[in-house]
Structure 1
């Protein structure tokens, strides 16, 4: 490794949650070298941002985080060096780390989230053990491939068990939501999309025009769950990709068919336990299966990448905008303000 990179540039959190102060600091620091016998050094080409990153940077994460940790959990890069006992990877492989590095098969009892329990991936070089890295589809460019580990795998996991012809309610137009919409359409599902913005809903209706996208503005209609029921002739949707939290969960259950599934993928709204007063009677009455989604296991990510490779599904249309690596602070604020429709990606290198 003496001839390779010894330092990396990385964005670490300032942990200053005062409004209008920098949330990130660009640092140059030594790489964690030498490599362990089973680790790989990855040159990062692109980093995708999620609402989770903006939330952590602004002190809103409901779980403890590593002080001044490196932000982000979505990155795509190429292996440039491996330890002497690495067998699963080779120099030149296109890879990304799994979001929960303890969740390999799905049977593990522990968990460790990138950018929370351990450093994330907002850096130009990262080092991971081989079992925590997943090979990426070769047909995708770096910016599209970077959207897979968190938003992509979360959408994939949230839609598990769906069948052609069923109906899904997808909340919002952020990264996970647009990924879920694209996957749902590809799987032959009818989609109901909700948002607080008529402009965003119209944009999505134009982008995904055939078959017509069903939409509901939850800001204009406080009883939006009743509108969803009307769209399904009173039956309810088969599955909900739920990302609001306490403010929307009970209503999501009320517009889910009896025996349906609510996949809780996030908590975008302000959380208030008092809004869950009807949770127990609703979940029992409607026999709803409520399942927590924390991205997915490495096996889930491998399955998703295999499906993408088989279908050669393009992902460029999911990207809201591409920013320079050095613009990370501005990009995080853009997401914090909810301006995006889809994914924001930082390009670390061109090519």
Structure 2
């Protein structure tokens, strides 16, 4: 067996939120000389960035985070060492940790989020207990596999409960949105995409041309929910993948059919609780199910990986860009400025 690494490179947050200053710093850290009984050492090959990473490094997370923590919760890697009581993983397995390491079955009452309550995965080696690691689909390359844990599992959880032939509204063109688009198409759903950029929408219509992709520009149509209703003959969509937060939630509910679902997965827009006027009446009148999506459980991630393997689905068409690990600062800024369509990935 080759010698195992004794140190790792990792990016830690600077927690300096002044515009224009570095948000992460590359450090070298010691790795333990011996793994605990059920721990697994993973060599990271790719790390996918999410808006959440840019938001946390810029001080915008609405919940407390550990000081100077390691960002990111989307990664794919290879098992290179295991503790002496590891049962289900072997050296050479392709794995990724789950985002909420307390959420194994969706029945747990606690939570612990990577890159917030505990260190994330922006490192060349990571160590996790085997109970929070999932095996990844064998046919995906490392870049594509790295988008599964957070963006993929969030999209998978957000789309639960929508049957073949129904209609979904997916907000934006970020990582979760594009993964949701792929899953929705594979599940036989009619998709409406919203964005503030005609160019992004036109590019997506060309890329996903069959069946035709429906689109709405919420910048040129401030009352965009009315445009969505027009596209559904006044009925509304069966489900919304909601990423805006308080500034978009009411309109999302207004264009959801009675008894439909709004899956709240993010808070990209500026939050203003005054936007919630009429919320209770709208929920009752439209019988809307509003559910929070906090990525998903280990079971959800395992189920998603099984579905990807069964369909041999690939994701090269929603990879926006790749950069080397050392360019983490630039990649985080790229996400912060909202330039991506799909996923931005760092390769190690």
TM-score, structure 2 normalization: 0.99
1:44 aligns with 2:44: yes
> How far apart in 2 are the matches of 1:91 and 1:211?
43
- Tell me, in whole angstroms, the C-alpha distance in 2 between the residues paired with 1:251 and 1:32: 51
Q: What is the alpha-carbon distance in structure 2 between the residues aligned to residue 157 and residue 229 of structure 1?
A: 24
Who is 2:147 aligned against?
147
Structure 2 residue aligned with 1:233:
233
Matched residue, 1:248: 248
Q: CA deviation at 1:315?
A: 1.0
Q: Is the 8 A contact 1:32 1:127 kept in 2?
A: no
**2:82 corresponds to:** 82
Matched residue, 1:5: 5
Cross-structure match for 2:288: 288
- Match of 1:90, SS state, is coil
Classify 1:66/1:2 alpha carbon distance in 2 versus 1 (closer, same or farther; 3 Å). farther
What residue number does 1:129 align with?
A: 129
> Which residue is equivalent to 2:28?
28
* C-alpha distance in 1 between matches for 2:299 and 2:33: 28
* 1:266 alignment counterpart: 266
TM (norm. structure 1) is 0.98
The residue correspondences of 1:1-351 to structure 2 (distance < 5 A) are 3-348=3-348
Give yes or no for contact 1:17–1:23 (8 Å, CA) kept in 2. yes
User: SS of 1:247's equivalent?
Assistant: helix
Partner secondary structure for residue 11 of structure 1: strand
Q: Distance in 2 between matches of 1:19 and 1:318?
A: 29
Determine the C-alpha separation between the residues in 2 that align with 1:317 and 1:2. 37
- Displacement over 4 Å in runs of 4+: none
DSSP 3-state at the match of 2:328? helix
SS in 2 for 1:114: coil
CA distance in 2, matches of 1:217, 1:234: 18
C-alpha separation in 2, matches of 1:258 and 1:31: 54
Unaligned runs of 5+ in 2: none
Structure 2 CA distance for partners of 1:90 and 1:132, relative to 1, 3 Å: same
Return the alpha-carbon distance in structure 2 between the equivalents of residues 330 and 27 of structure 1: 17
* Residue 2 (structure 1) shift: 9.9
Q: Judging changes above 3 Å, is the alpha-carbon distance between structure 1 residues 110 and 32 closer, same or farther for their aligned structure 2 residues? A: farther
1:59-117, Cα deviation, whole Å (9 max, x unpaired): 00000001000010001000000000000101000000000000011111100000000
C-alpha displacement at 1:3, in angstroms? 3.0
The whole-number CA distance in structure 1 between the counterparts of 2:206 and 2:181 is 14
CA offset digits 1:27-58 (Å, max 9, x no partner): 00112442110000000000000000000000
What are the Cα deviations for residues 199-223 of structure 1, in whole angstroms up to 9, with x where unaligned? 1101111110111111100011111
**Mapped partners of 1:182, 1:86: distance in 2:** 34
Matched length: 348
Question: How well do the aligned residues superpose, as a CA RMSD in angstroms?
Answer: 0.9
SS of residue paired to 1:163: coil
In 1, Cα distance between the equivalents of 2:71 and 2:30? 17
Cα deviation for residue 278 of structure 1 reads 1.6
Specify every segment of 5 or more residues in structure 1 that has no aligned partner in the other structure, as ranges: none
For residues 301 and 117 of structure 1, what CA distance do their matches in structure 2 show? 20
Distance in 2 between the 1:261 and 1:182 partners?
19
